[in-house]
Amino acid sequence: MRVLGVDPGLTRCGLGVVDGGGAQGGREVRFVAVDVVRTPTDAPLATRLLGVGDEVERWIAVHRPDVVAVERVFSQHNVRTVMGTAQASGVVALLAARAGLPVAFHTPSEVKAAVTGEGRAGKEQVAAMVTRLLGLAEAPRSADAADALALAICHCWRAPMLDRMAQARERSAELARHHRARLAAAAAEAAARRTALGGGALGGAGR
């Protein structure tokens, strides 16, 4: 499975591609590519979103991922930053959907816990673990690049569990549908019997 991890943002948007799976029960991960898309802060919003979108679209075409993993946006103190991040995230999800790719959203704490074992790990710790897990000669040069790779790694490791959970929900829903169908059939059969018995009684009274 090839995952494109995206740490969304307008000023800096991290992109990282990782291949997951292998002989170690799906825990093996391999580095493919990483970069950071930058847009000028004085450019119009639409132009900045277009710049991010163009590069994400190019990465999808070049690296052909199976899934796109995006950091889930949370409210912070800086509302303007959150808005820009959310807008960039929406553009990424749109482009992934247009390419026919599933999109998975992971919270920062999920990513940190998956990569470091600690949901409150700092950026330096995340970067160090990403470097170690992918066997890189040096740490990614920016936190955005490291976070993008961490997102991709997180999804590689969480995807099997998420698939099992989805299958379990589908089985549960299917059982519930069967149960409702059986109850409806039983209710219809009981109603039909009552109607038949009522009709027979009336017919006998008429004779």
Report residue 184 as tokens: 């409806």
- Active-site residue numbers? 7, 71, 144
Rounded to an integer, the average pLDDT of 138-166 is: 84
Tell me the pLDDT tens digit for each residue of 124-138.
Answer: 999 999 999 999 999
Rounded to an integer, the average pLDDT of 96-122 is: 95
- Do residues 146 and 11 touch, judged by C-beta distance below 8 A? no
User: Which residues belong to the annotated binding site?
Assistant: 7, 71, 144
Distances (CA, A) of 34 to 134, 176, 201: 12, 45, 81
d(CA 54, CA 153): 24
In this predicted structure, what is the pLDDT of residue 74?
Answer: 74
d(CA 83, CA 120): 23
Read off the DSSP letter of residue 23: T
Per mean pLDDT, which range of 15-24, 104-113, 156-165 is the poorest? Answer: 156-165
By residue count, the chain amounts to: 207
- Which CATH superfamily, name and number, covers 2-165? Ribonuclease H-like superfamily/Ribonuclease H (3.30.420.10)
% of residues, the chain, pLDDT over 90: 66
Residue 107: is its pLDDT beyond 60? yes
User: Which residues belong to the annotated binding site for Mg(2+)?
Assistant: 7, 71, 144
Tell me the pLDDT tens digit for each residue of 64-84.
Answer: 999 999 999 876 667 777 889
- Do residues 51 and 37 touch, judged by C-beta distance below 8 A? yes
Count of other CB atoms within 10 angstroms of residue 36: 21
Q: How far is CA 191 from the centre of its chain?
A: 47
- Do residues 3 and 67 touch, judged by C-beta distance below 8 A? yes
Name the average pLDDT for the chain: 87
Report residue 119 as tokens: 């949901």
Instruction: Look up the pTM and report it.
Output: 0.77
Helix (H) or strand (E) holding 42: none
What is the pLDDT confidence band of residue 166, given thresholds at 50, 70 and 90? Answer: very low
DSSP state letters, 85-150: HHHHHHHHHHHHHHTT--EEEE-HHHHHHHHHS-TT--HHHHHHHHHHHHT-SS--SSHHHHHHHH
**In the chain, what are the domain boundaries?**
2-165
Per mean pLDDT, which range of 53-57, 92-96, 147-151, 198-202 is the poorest? Answer: 198-202
Position of tokens 């549960």?
172
Calculated CA dihedral for residues 164, 105, 59, 153, nearest 10 degrees = -60
